[in-house]
Structure 1
């Protein structure tokens, strides 16, 4: 069911897309090209990760420690890619995708963020999804940055969206209208996506916790020479 939902959402986002530069930067075609699928792990063994990402999620009450886990991206020999969420000893599949669509981590990031924001704010996930779709088709804030991967400094771009910044229902969203989505991308980063971050500031009330969802490529993904 989770795979089915993710694929439907992916088609929904892609179907709304045009030639907008913002969309093309985030959903970069061919972002997994040049990466080789690892050799088979053997019977009963888990395939090794092609790329590994750390995730830190703060979506609880004020003062609670954030959750930390990992997301493995695994290329297979049949031109498919799997995303695996690892939380300590537990593992959960986030879906399988054709490698030709690019790095599916961007879709997981957007979908999990809007689900979290909808749950925390009490808003409609469909409404928030539509605002993100619209933001993907508009000009975004794009600035050059330098990131470190392994022992190299790499030139990259940070793309930042504020999907609810000018929304007509902004007042009803309160502090969640300040939702910011920031993605750092580079041709020199394997898999194209270096980091993905979603933030909402905390409020004044005791229950008005902030929100932060950060996914970052680990040093296991070495820069291309």
Structure 2
């Protein structure tokens, strides 16, 4: 989980707290908001994972709220995909935000490392920086529980101006999208990445999407 935690702004730098710049709206929305405040009892949040494209498959992710501490923070464990796609992430403690954001991003940078051959730390740093000054936030609405509810969308393209990938338009054009709503348990309604086609290389478009589907005891 150490790599995943590096994506959170509170873990990002060695500068003393008084020298740290204020968080961007995107950083605050994704990393410094108590998403789990609407969880009052130990339970499991279920998410559907879908990859579209030439290697399409679907799977499940479970976020277990195992303990709720007196101060409201949670002990959280994960079941992230299954079978050949399973990835292990150790449990985290004293969390008030939804750690699925960091787990999803760590899964993503590990995939990119394997696909592109660039160190995962490089991708982590580019994504973390993009949350500071490149992310776009907008109000939106989603269908939840049979009705329309208000939500916020965070969108960014961390590698759009990265000349290291001038010959890899699939990386430069990769889009990250996060939809949050305080009406959804855990507040994360959807997380996704989308990669465009690269006609020159014959590479097709593909996407990965995680969607909240329900809660259970």
Under TM normalisation by the shorter chain, which class is it? 0.7 to 0.9
Misfit runs of 4+, over 6 Å: none
Paired residue secondary structure (2:33):
coil
Structure-1-length-normalised TM-score: 0.78
The answer as to 2:46 corresponding to 1:52 is: yes
**Residue 69 (structure 1) shift:** 0.8
Structure 2 stretches lacking a partner, 5+ long: 14-21, 69-73
Q: Which of residues 117, 123, 130 in structure 2 aligns to 1:128?
A: 123
1:161 corresponds to 2:160: no
Are residues 1:70 and 2:60 paired? yes
For residue 30 of structure 1, report the CA deviation from its aligned partner.
1.5
> SS of the residue aligned with 2:115?
helix
Give the CA deviation at 1:12: 5.5
User: Which of 191, 197, 210 is 1:215 aligned to?
Assistant: 210
**2:11 matched residue in structure 1:** 15
Displacement of 1:184 in angstroms is 0.3
Partner SS for 1:130: helix
Q: Is the partner of 1:54 in helix, strand or coil?
A: strand
What TM-score do the two structures reach when normalised by structure 2? 0.81
* Aligned counterparts of 1:128 and 1:27: Cα–Cα separation in 2: 18
How many residue pairs end up in the alignment?
202
The 8 Å contact of residues 37 and 74 in structure 1, kept in 2 or not, is answered as: no
**Is the Cα–Cα contact under 8 Å of residues 37 and 96 in structure 2 kept in the other structure?**
no
Partner of 1:194: 189
User: Please, which runs of 5 or more residues in structure 1 have no aligned partner?
Assistant: 1-5, 39-48
- Rounded to whole Å, the distance in 2 between the matches of 1:25 and 1:188 is 15
